Amino acid sequence: MWPETEQKLQGLMDDMTNRASDYERLVQFGLRVHVIVRETEKEARAYANNLLSKLDLDLGKDIRKRAQDALL
């Protein structure tokens, strides 16, 4: 979902809410935000993409699993 605009995030959450309601389910959302500030939006997005390019996929999976386990 990142880096996404507020409108894109709202659209995604609305879509997931509608899909869940088809199964009489309720979806709750949490959001973690990192603010990247540059002179222009284009520069900020380029920097965000640069940061994302350095992520290790296996480490990301491990972090996601630990976060999901914490909810139990």
20 close to 26: Cβ distance less than 8 angstroms = yes
Instruction: Report, as ranges of residue numbers, the positions in the chain whose pLDDT lies below 70.
Output: 1-3, 70-72
**Residues contacting residue 10 through CB under 8 Å, at least 6 positions apart:** none
Q: What does the block give as tokens for 51?
A: 């940061």
What pLDDT does 59 receive? 86
**Cα separation of 55 and 43, whole Å?**
19
Indicate the DSSP class of residue 40. Answer: S
What pLDDT does 34 receive? 84
- Which bin fits 24, alpha (ψ -120 to 50), beta or left (φ > 0)? left
What pLDDT does 72 receive? 56
What pLDDT does 61 receive? 85
What pLDDT does 42 receive? 94
